[in-house]
């Protein structure tokens, strides 16, 4: 039996028509190989539906559609028109907000009332923001001498492959689609196999907004079957990826081995949060919990390493235990009072639990949590705090990607800085202190793409976001995000004579 390209689904109080096909050339089509993949509700462990799974043949078709659209239509589309389309896309997301939040809550386990709703609202803001930039992609004039006039053009790459993760299906897609479209590129986007539904539904909005066929293509599939052919495709000009560092390294290798395509990577993290004894204590505690427990700890820049000055260490550990237990209500993502849902899959739940076991075996002090969070269905894990950790412990070195924070202590600024930078990652960091000189000094010295002072993980779409070291290459968001989707051409005009 051939899987249809759409099916009616009820999620909570929302009933809608869910596309299941591959979105190519503004149409939902079946995968050529007939393969499918099932997507599971992590709160119930039940299959929501199956979707078509792309392989190399489907990737080739999608890339060809994108290339044709770029050459025949999109390359000559003015920035003002691209702006209108992005703003229309934002308006449609607002119109379909209830459906999109329900899909995101069911497919990824995000609590609908805060996490999923926030993600949809952020997407709306991203498309409006980049819609404002689309007619302002400008170069510079350079007058080096009276004999030469030069100017630069910021031109699109052309066909951009985009591979998004399962923790933020809509938001990470918007971060990539917004600047790529604003600067005049076309897109073939691969969803994460764990969470394909919201972006497939988004394909409907692409059509309604009036995008020409082939400008935005969305395919589902496994990494080895669809992601690898996209990253290594000879007719893809740029690849953008968000996900694990291990996969990011493979993406980079495939990009280099094929046509040396441009690469943007946003990979893993093990972000530190430093709390000094002059910090606003209550605020530091609240931000510490938010910085790791939001989205069930499935955040690449989560401040999962918490270092507290020794003079307030014991008091802080007690306070964070109380705050975690009081503020992270776990349960059904469709319950508006719930703020903590399940991990995205059983594989991810088992992975996080294995790290918790390692922490126990290696001698860290378990303060709270440390076990699966449901006696029934669902891939839940109780928010977990380890204290008295040492730098060599597995839970300190490796990215857990779950609701687990490790707490250690320091005495001096120098020690705090050494601990903060003692990692292969460099995505984010946070500093809590009332000493402005200390805050600026440490912010300059910490090896991370983002440093928050007296907050954590409160990113802004107008501010660039990217990683140092093994956390990635390039920046997304803000004006900087546009630069990763353009290449600079210089045009040099001779005004003199050759003697």
State how far Cα 263 lies from the chain centre.
16
3-state secondary structure of 460: coil
* Distance (Å, whole) CA 118 – CA 434: 30
Question: Nearest-5° angle of CA 453, CA 459, CA 465?
Answer: 100
| CA proximity to 382, closest of 292, 290, 296, 271 | 296
> Is 266 part of the annotated catalytic residue set?
yes
Annotated catalytic residue within 266, 323, 399, 476? 266
Helix (H, G, I), strand (E, B) or coil at 162: strand
Give 275-291 as a 3 state SS string. ECCCCCHHHHHHHHHHH
Q: Taking a C-beta distance cutoff of 8 angstroms, is the pair 353, 381 a contact?
A: yes
**Residue length, the chain?**
499
DSSP secondary structure letters along 293-305: HGGGG--TT---E
Question: How many other β-carbons are positioned within 10 Å of the β-carbon of residue 376?
Answer: 7
Q: How far is CA 284 from the centre of its chain?
A: 25
Rounded to an integer, what distance in angstroms lies between the CA atom of residue 27 and that of residue 398? 42
Which residues are catalytic, by number? 266
């Amino acid at each position: 039996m051939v899987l249809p390209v759409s099916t009616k689904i009820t999620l909570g109080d929302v009933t809608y028509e869910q596309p299941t096909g591959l979105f190519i050339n503004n149409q939902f089509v079946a995968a050529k190989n007939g393969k499918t993949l099932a997507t599971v509700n992590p709160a119930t462990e039940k299959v929501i539906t199956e979707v078509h799974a792309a392989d190399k043949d489907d990737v080739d078709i999608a890339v060809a559609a994108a290339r044709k659209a770029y050459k025949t239509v999109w390359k000559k589309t003015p920035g003002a028109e691209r702006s209108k389309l992005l703003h229309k896309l934002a308006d449609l997301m607002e119109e379909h907000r209830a459906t999109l939040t329900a899909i995101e809550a069911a497919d990824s386990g995000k609590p609908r009332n805060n996490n999923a709703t926030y993600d949809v609202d952020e997407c709306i803001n991203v498309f409006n923001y980049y819609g404002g930039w689309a007619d302002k992609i400008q170069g510079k004039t350079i007058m080096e001498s009276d004999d030469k006039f030069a100017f630069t053009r910021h031109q699109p790459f052309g066909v951009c492959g985009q591979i998004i993760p399962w923790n933020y299906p809509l938001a990470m897609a918007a971060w990539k689609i917004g600047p790529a479209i604003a600067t005049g590129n076309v897109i073939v986007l691969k969803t994460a196999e764990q969470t394909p539904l919201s972006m497939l539904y988004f394909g409907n909005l692409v059509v309604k907004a009036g995008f020409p066929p082939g400008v935005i293509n969305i395919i589902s599939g496994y990494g080895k079957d669809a992601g690898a052919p996209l990253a290594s495709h000879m007719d893809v000009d740029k690849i953008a990826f968000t996900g694990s560092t291990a996969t990011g390294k493979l993406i980079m290798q495939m990009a280099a081995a094929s046509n040396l395509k441009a690469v943007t990577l946003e990979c893993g993290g093990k972000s530190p949060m430093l709390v000094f004894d002059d910090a606003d204590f209550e605020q530091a505690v609240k931000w510490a919990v938010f910085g790791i427990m939001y989205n069930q700890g499935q955040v690449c820049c989560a401040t999962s390493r918490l270092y507290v000055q020794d003079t307030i260490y014991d008091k802080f550990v007690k306070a964070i235990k109380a705050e975690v237990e009081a503020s992270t209500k776990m349960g059904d993502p469709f319950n508006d009072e719930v703020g903590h849902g399940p991990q995205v899959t059983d594989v991810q739940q088992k992975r996080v639990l294995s790290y918790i076991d390692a922490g126990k075996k290696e001698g860290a002090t378990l303060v709270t949590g440390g076990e699966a969070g449901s006696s029934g269905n669902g891939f839940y894990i109780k928010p977990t705090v380890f204290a008295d950790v040492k730098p060599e412990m597995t839970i300190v070195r490796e990215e857990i990607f779950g609701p687990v924070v490790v707490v250690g202590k320091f005495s001096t600024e120098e020690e705090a800085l050494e601990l903060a930078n003692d990692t292969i990652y460099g995505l984010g960091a946070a500093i809590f202190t009332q000493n402005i000189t200390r805050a600026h000094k440490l912010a300059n010295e910490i090896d991370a793409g983002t440093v928050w002072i007296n907050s954590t993980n409160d990113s802004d779409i107008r501010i660039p976001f990217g990683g140092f070291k093994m956390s990635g290459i390039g920046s997304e968001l803000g004006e900087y995000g546009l630069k990763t989707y353009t290449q600079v051409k210089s045009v040099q005009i001779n005004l003199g004579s050759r003697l």
